[in-house]
């Protein structure tokens, strides 16, 4: 596995959630335990927005659709360097809602209030 920066690792882990690749997620975390993807089976991941990336922390918003509703997962993730490889350690979740006047995460180009919020 290529030595990724924390920001690149965050992007690759998001991509692994999209692909339902629990093995990759397990290999890129400090816990090194199997990742059960069952809770994510009915989720459609829409986009990842990296808000900030400094040193060993990455703040991001991951937008997803579940039961025909769009949600946002907002987290500040902490990474650690072990044996020359960055690994996900843990994160702080924020209680964040999608704002009415934001661009809709579905990619329509419309404001959220005029698109998927309806």
Residues 10-25 have pLDDT tens digits of 999 999 999 999 999 9
Residue 2 has pLDDT above 80, yes or no: no
**6-114, CATH topology level:** Nuclear Transport Factor 2; Chain: A, (3.10.450)
The whole model's pTM is what? Answer: 0.89
Q: Which helix (H) or strand (E) holds 52?
A: strand 44-54
| Domain parsing of the chain, residue ranges | 6-114
Q: Cα separation of 86 and 47, whole Å?
A: 23
83 C-beta neighbours (distance < 10 Å), count:
5
For residue range 3-58, list pLDDT tens digits in order: 789 999 999 999 999 999 999 999 999 987 777 888 889 999 999 999 999 999 99
Give the CA distances from residue 117 to residues 29, 41, 42, 44, 74, in Å, rounded to whole numbers and listed in that order. 34, 23, 19, 16, 18
């Amino acid at each position: 596995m290529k030595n990724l920066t924390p920001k690149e690792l965050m992007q690759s882990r998001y991509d692994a959630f999209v692909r339902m690749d629990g093995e990759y997620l397990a290999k890129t975390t400090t816990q090194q335990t199997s990742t059960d993807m069952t809770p994510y089976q009915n989720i459609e991941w829409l986009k990842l927005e990296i808000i900030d990336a400094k040193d060993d922390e990455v703040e991001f918003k991951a937008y997803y659709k579940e039961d025909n509703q769009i949600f946002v997962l907002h987290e500040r993730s902490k990474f650690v360097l072990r044996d020359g490889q960055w690994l996900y350690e843990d994160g702080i979740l924020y209680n964040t809602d999608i704002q009415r006047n934001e661009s809709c995460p579905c990619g329509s180009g419309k404001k959220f209030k005029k698109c998927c919020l309806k």
